[in-house]
Amino acid sequence: MYDVASHLHKIGYLPEDQEAFLAAWTAAETEAAIGEWLRDLRIYLEHERVKSVIVDAVRYSKVIAQGSADAAREEALVASVVGKSRLAREVGRPSRSMRTGGNRSARTILSHAKYWRRRSAEPLP
């Protein structure tokens, strides 16, 4: 089930295409599509949504910290994480840090990432 959820998350099917995929999958994997498999799929999809925010935030922070991306690319990376964060906030009850972070603008997040880049370039005491 996790593999199905991971695939659906990464591909990002349109709703009708996702329904067609799941219909084909349930026909082919009759032993796997039993019980409350739709509930399980939802839980795994939520897991993928949250994991994606964490992984991408780290990855994009490194790109910004390196200073190798132009301003437009940096803004696009931040916008992507902001969008994914908003989707992830729908999963369960968000922590205080996610609620606070979710209210920050993309410009504020980019400013913090650039500050981190400047600070990480300084030698340690």
pLDDT digits (tens, 9 = 90+) for 32-76: 888 899 999 999 998 998 899 889 988 998 898 888 899 999 999
Give me the residue label for tokens 């099917």: 13
Contacts 24+ apart (CB under 8 A), 111-114: 113/60, 113/61, 113/64, 113/65, 113/74, 113/78, 114/64
For residue 87, the model assigns a pLDDT of: 81
Alpha-carbon span 87 to 53, nearest angstrom: 9
Alpha-carbon span 79 to 109, nearest angstrom: 9
Alpha-carbon span 78 to 72, nearest angstrom: 10
In terms of pTM, does the model score above 0.85?
no
Number of domains in the chain: 1
Q: Which domain holds residue 27?
A: 2-121
With cut-offs at 50, 70 and 90, classify the pLDDT of residue 26.
very high
